[in-house]
Amino acid sequence: MGRGSVRKPDPSLDLSQHLWHMDRLPRPWKAEQVFPQPGPVEVDVGCGKGMFLLQAALEHPERNYLGIEKQYNFAAYSAARVAKRQLPNARVVAGDALWVFREVFPDESLAAVHVYFPDPWWKKRHRKRRVMVEPFLRDVERTLRPGGALHFWTDVKEYFDETLQLLAQVTRLQGPVPVEERPARHDLDYHTNYERKARLAGKPVYRSLFFKPQESA
Ligand SMILES: C[S@@+](CC[C@H](N)C(=O)[O-])C[C@H]1O[C@@H](n2cnc3c(N)ncnc32)[C@H](O)[C@@H]1O
């Protein structure tokens, strides 16, 4: 199955609780209208096929996970994975994460933001399509609660270095805290689908973790 093609969800599966179009999100944001149980909200930006979302939601039932994915077929695929297991703490938004951060999430509303293997957009004239751009990084800082975490992983060294530089320039997030690679115990034991692809291809993966300071000076 190539990039952009993914199996359509079983039409008998009810996705109405798990798949949200970005226009349907409550504005002003009310997490309790999206998740039935209270809990800290973590966002997975560009959740792709939903590997991280599913694993994290299974491992941490006390936390709520919101994937945001701009390709509708991938958003529906991820939503189907969590809907099949009837997970109450995982939801997928079909839409642009930059818009959702800017227009929907209030200050200090998120416990963590995960950005794994964002599209590199190699060509210079396409760079503006990247996710890790200044307005988004400022929105990440604004929407994280004090002590909240930003996880950023990629296999593109240049994107990694540029983003870390930008984070230092435009935010007060503290880091990077290095994150160690964990050996895979079986064929699907990876953090995300793209981490799996990179590691099976023998490529290095660059991982970073940042925290919002507890006190804003
Ligand atoms: C290279 S894939 C990585 C998927 C997944 N995070 C992983 O590590 O396997 C990047 C994903 O981000 C999505 N994406 C890119 N820009 C986005 C945006 N502005 N909002 C939401 N999703 C976006 C793409 O559609 C794609 O599915």
What H or E segment, with its residue span, contains residue 210? strand 206-211
Residue 96 appears among annotated catalytic residues? no
115 C-beta closer than 6 A to ligand 1: no
Decide: pTM greater than 0.95.
Answer: yes
Distance separating alpha carbons of residues 147 and 132, to the nearest angstrom? 20
Report the pLDDT value the prediction gives residue 1, as an integer from 0 to 100: 40
Q: Is residue 135 part of a domain?
A: yes
Residue 175 lies in a domain: yes
Tokens representing 15 are 């996705």
Residue 3: predicted pLDDT: 56
Domain assignment of residue 3, yes or no: no
* Closest residue by CA, ligand 1 atom 24: 46
Q: Find the catalytic residue in 119, 155, 187, 189.
A: 119
In a domain? residue 55? yes
pLDDT of residue 69: 98
Of all atoms in ligand 1, which is nearest to the CA of residue 197?
9
pLDDT at 191: 97
Task: Count structural domains, the chain.
Answer: 1
pLDDT of residue 216: 54
For residue 2, tell me if it sits in a domain. no
Q: With respect to residue 4, please indicate whether it lies within any of the assigned structural domains.
A: no
Residues 66/100, Cβ–Cβ less than 8 Å:
no
What per-residue confidence (pLDDT) applies to 127?
87
Residue 217, pLDDT score = 53
Q: For the chain of 217 residues, list the mean pLDDT of each consecutive stretch of 10.
A: 72 95 97 98 98 98 98 98 98 98 98 98 90 98 98 97 98 97 95 98 98 81
Pocket test for ligand 1, best of 194, 199, 200 (most atoms within 8 A of CB): 194
Range of the domain at 206: 19-211
Given a contact cutoff of 8 angstroms between Cβ atoms, the answer to whether 104 and 29 are in contact is: yes
